[in-house]
Amino acid sequence: MIAADTGHRYVDEMEFVVNDESKWREILASDGVVVQSPGMLVDLIDDPPPGIFVVLMRRSLEAIHASAGRIGWEEQFRGNTIELRKFGRVGGDSARLKYEYWEQHPKPFSYLEIEYESLRSHPLFVADDLRRTFGPLQTEP
């Protein structure tokens, strides 16, 4: 939605294999990109790339877990396991930890927090019932 509304190029997290920091930083050094990168939140806060604007999506943990389960986030990508390492953990809920980390640390960059549910009126929003069969990299029915 942000990329479409601004005319910027959308970059999915799979373009930097979800957590390849050097590729992520290289992409962020480009002009005119919107980068999906929830798995890079710790890196973003601890060592933010210059000149970025961050949009943090607020979504219920239940909805995040349902989405992660639907696409096989842990089974196919070991997503939660990999993200937990950034917190020095081997167990737990990386989605919860990311929100807690965001709240507990200063943000030395411009940012906006947006509620997921507020996007329902956007013309590109895909309703929940149409996303039930979505897989990774799928953004429209």
> Residues 31-81: pLDDT tens digits?
999 999 999 999 999 999 999 999 999 999 999 998 888 878 777 767 788
Measured from the Cβ of residue 107, the count of other Cβ atoms closer than 10 Å reads 12
Q: Is residue 32 part of a domain?
A: yes
Q: Of 116, 36, 40, whose CA–CA distance to 82 is shortest?
A: 40
Q: Is 137 left (phi over 0), alpha (psi -120 to 50) or beta?
A: left
> Residues 93-112: pLDDT tens digits?
999 999 999 999 999 999 99
Q: Is residue 137 part of a domain?
A: no
The domain in which residue 7 lies consists of 2-131
Q: Is residue 139 part of a domain?
A: no
Q: Is residue 36 part of a domain?
A: yes
- Distance, in Å, from the CA atom of 58 to the CA atom of 84, rounded to the nearest integer, reads 19
Please state, in angstroms and as integers, the Cα–Cα distance from residue 65 to each residue in 4, 20, 94, following that order: 26, 23, 10
Residue 55, helix vs strand vs coil: strand
Q: Is residue 141 part of a domain?
A: no
Q: Is residue 136 part of a domain?
A: no
**Considering its fold, how many domains does the chain have in total?**
1
Q: Is residue 90 part of a domain?
A: yes
Q: Is residue 56 part of a domain?
A: yes
